[in-house]
Amino acid sequence: MTGQQYLESLRRLKPCLYYRGERVEDVTAHPVLAPHVRAAALTYELAHEERYAGLMTARSHLDGRPINRFTHVHRDTGDLVAKVKMLRLLGQKTGSCFQRCVGLDALNALYSVTYEMDAEHGTDYHRRLAAFLAEVQAGDLMCAGSMTDVKGDRARRPSEQRDPDLYVRVVDRDGRGVVLRGAKAHQTGMANAHHMVLMPTMALGEADRAYAVACAVPVDAPGVVHVFGRQTNDGRRRAGLGVDVGNARFGVVGGETTTILQDVFVPWERVFMAGEWRWTGTLVERFASYHRQNYGGCKVGVGDVMIGAAAVMARLNGVLQASHVRDKLVEMVHLVETMYAGSLACSVEGRATPSGAYLVDPLLANTVKQNVTRFAYEVARLAHDLAGGLLATLPSEEDFAHPEVGPLLGKYFQGAGQAATAVRVRVARLLENMTGGTALLESMHGAGSPQAQRVMILRQAALADKQRLALELAGVPEEERDLLLSC
């Protein structure tokens, strides 16, 4: 699709969507949601630009047709690398989240897991998933990956909750399909997607069998209710402000919803797991690895914009040539490129799964995301350092437009050189928007909490092998090494 066709497709949907107590009728026109819609639309628009087609498109392995890369199943390490480069490009172009990554990662994780699950159980999930994927590719549909349950008491398993609906579960099934009840949180891009692809949020036990469900559901299916969350600067957007919003065209982060499933029926053709609890851990780990790979792409592109904005502010402050300023810019570049290097590394070290789909190296992918939980904050801190206190105390755009105080503010907020005060104000507001609450919090908790990555890093670290290396070099005899490591 083109970007315009994407917008038209959203207008044909009728999701039950609320924001601040009001029903949203058209996400493409709503002042708070429209910036997120435009960010997603860019993933469609750039696929039609010749200079970006190599990154933004691929060939379907199902029928050979050209498709948007956001609907593609990775077939080699080149695809994994191209994905990271595409995400960096889009981060540079939007300075925000473009929302299609979670659905892409969900489809790729399910593609390989359903193949292996069918081989063990004789089920038909992979054929169903491939049929749904063909529909997604043919229509260039946007899927919102839906993993995070609301969780309730996190010390209890899903089946142990006082309220059994705090994790999404199957409450009924028959020859036609299953019925789901529960809620999902932090759903990036859900408000302007076509389908939601649901997955379990954690590795489950046998007692949690009802919660082992993966499926595809239209965002406007009966019984689905979405509630759009508050965000940084959304009050300014709703008031119709432009400059004060900062990133007025594309918003901040991805437009997250809480999505409630009130006895939602899903036909069997759209069900890709229904009770196979032993496979939930594999599915979660693969999805998480794909999604953590992304952060050294998208956050790097956004980081490029932050570096540029910080440099502009230093220029307007007349200190760009100062040695300590240039050293801080070097540190920002170093941090951003370190994140990028990690994403490229986990892609190059990817491997084929039995389905033919390629999976990133899980250890390196989790290392990427662990770095993002720290480095993104340091990049933002350095941007604050270089930009100055203006980011926190700048008067509003209404004051700058006021006939009496506006000219006075224009005089006293001018910077170095010939640049107009308006340039300084716009760049300051952009940095305020990009380094404020919602954006940084997503760097911390998006794709899982920092502790989730540390668990995966330890699991993938091969500590026994590393101990064996040390014991061998220390001259410990092999029989003693084996005895020690067996304890």
74, 125, 291, 340: the catalytic one is 291
- Supply the pLDDT for residue 418: 82
**Sign of the CA dihedral running 290, 142, 188, 171:** negative
Whether 50 sits among the annotated catalytic residues: the reply is no
Full-model pTM: 0.95
Which residues, 6+ apart, have CB-to-CB distance to 317 below 8 Å? 388, 415, 416
Whether 298 sits among the annotated catalytic residues: the reply is yes
Bridge partners of residue 217, in order along the sequence: 196
Whether 215 sits among the annotated catalytic residues: the reply is no
285, 397, 432, 442: the catalytic one is 442
Whether 22 sits among the annotated catalytic residues: the reply is no
Are residues 316 and 424 in contact, defined by beta-carbon separation less than 8 angstroms? Answer: yes
- Supply the pLDDT for residue 443: 87
Q: Which two tokens stand for residue 238?
A: 């709703």
Q: Quick one: which of 146, 189, 442, 171 has its CA closest to 298?
A: 442
**Which residues of the chain does CATH 2.40.110.10 include?**
3-275
**Which residues of the chain does CATH 1.20.140.10 include?**
283-465
SS3 of the chain: helix, strand, coil, percent, to 5: 55, 15, 30
Tens digit of pLDDT per residue, the chain (487 long)?
999 999 999 999 999 999 999 999 999 999 999 999 999 999 999 999 999 999 999 999 999 999 999 999 999 999 999 999 999 999 999 999 999 999 999 999 999 999 999 999 999 999 999 999 999 999 999 999 999 999 999 999 999 999 999 999 999 999 999 999 999 999 999 999 999 999 999 999 999 999 999 999 999 999 999 999 998 888 998 888 899 999 989 988 888 999 999 999 999 999 999 999 999 999 999 999 999 999 999 999 999 999 999 999 999 999 999 999 999 999 999 999 999 999 999 999 999 999 999 999 999 999 999 999 999 999 999 999 999 999 999 999 999 999 999 999 999 999 998 888 999 999 999 999 999 877 788 888 888 889 999 999 999 999 999 999 999 999 999 999 999 999 8
143, 215, 298, 346: the catalytic one is 298
111, 115, 167, 295: the catalytic one is 295
Whether 101 sits among the annotated catalytic residues: the reply is yes
| 465: number of Cβ within 10 Å | 9
Are residues 40 and 192 in contact, defined by beta-carbon separation less than 8 angstroms? Answer: yes
Q: Which CATH superfamily hosts domain 3-275?
A: Butyryl-CoA Dehydrogenase, subunit A, domain 2 (2.40.110.10)
Q: Quick one: which of 29, 32, 399 has its CA closest to 252?
A: 32
Measured CA angle at 142 (ends 139, 145), to 5 deg: 135
Whether 188 sits among the annotated catalytic residues: the reply is yes
Whether 295 sits among the annotated catalytic residues: the reply is yes
Tell me how far apart the alpha carbons of residues 151 and 230 are, in angstroms, rounded to a whole number. 20
30, 43, 44, 97: the catalytic one is 97
Q: Which CATH superfamily hosts domain 283-465?
A: Butyryl-CoA Dehydrogenase, subunit A, domain 3 (1.20.140.10)
What residue has token string 């980081």? 303
71, 114, 188, 258: the catalytic one is 188
Are residues 108 and 146 in contact, defined by beta-carbon separation less than 8 angstroms? Answer: no
- What is the crossing angle of helices 280-316 and 421-434, to 10°? 160
44, 71, 101, 285: the catalytic one is 101
148, 256, 257, 373: the catalytic one is 256
Q: Radius of gyration over alpha carbons of the chain, in Å?
A: 24
